[in-house]
Amino acid sequence: MNTEQFVHLLEEKGISLSKQQMEQYELYYSTLVEWNEKMNLTAITEKDEVYLKHFYDSISAAFYYDFNQPLKVCDVGAGAGFPSIPLKIAFPQIQVTIVDSLNKRIGFLNHLAEELGLDHVEFVHDRAETFGKNKKYRESFDLVTARAVARLSVLSELCLPLVKVGSTFLAMKGAGAEQELDKANKAITTFGGKLIDSHTFTLPEEESERNILVIKKEKSTPNKYPRKPGTPNKSPIES
């Protein structure tokens, strides 16, 4: 996907990018590639692939959820900033908090935010399990996102404790989301959520399947969750 196709396909979805925003994506790409030589941020470094599989794929969350509002967003395990930083560039009014367990990645994100001139962004070095217990952040976000982090039963325990009651957890998944969902129903309910919508689409050009699951937080997550670091992954709550 070249930059012209990127702009055109987003316009078809009602998302218009300015010259300045495109300059930010260009700078994001060059910074990502530069830092990737020093540390492992992504296996995808070809420009057309980064625009398709990282930038466009991240922004696809906005095809099914309204980002044209002052949202307080938390991105769990964002790695090199996906999906929240591409979304922040496209929708500058959103506030973004990223939590990641690797301090090197936090260093990259701080540098990136400075390079791109982003405001209202916060990068926290922590495990998602302990972050979810922190009173400053617990049940404080309008939207929590995660992309390619863990299977849904595990992800629900990491993300739903951060979502405000009445707000949304958006899980971005590849193929196999339906099977994950079958096993995750008990977890979603346990942590106070309810699946209210799911969307399946294919990425342009390569036609690989993507799924976006919209989970509403209906009631508070019990205080004992999330469990201690490593436990959700070792012993997921599954149906």
Question: Which amino acid is present at 112?
Answer: L
In angstroms, the CA 118 to CA 24 distance is 10
Q: Is 128 annotated as a binding residue?
A: yes
In angstroms, the CA 148 to CA 153 distance is 13
Q: Is 147 annotated as a binding residue?
A: yes
In angstroms, the CA 191 to CA 104 distance is 31
Q: Is 82 annotated as a binding residue?
A: yes
The b-or-e profile of 171-193 (16+ CB within 10 A means b, else e) is bbbeeebeebbeebbebbbbbbb
Beta bridge partners of 163: 141
Of 96, 90, 92, the closest CA to residue 109 belongs to: 96
Q: Is 113 annotated as a binding residue?
A: no
Binding residues for S-adenosyl-L-methionine: 77, 82, 128-129, 147
Annotated binding site: 77, 82, 128-129, 147
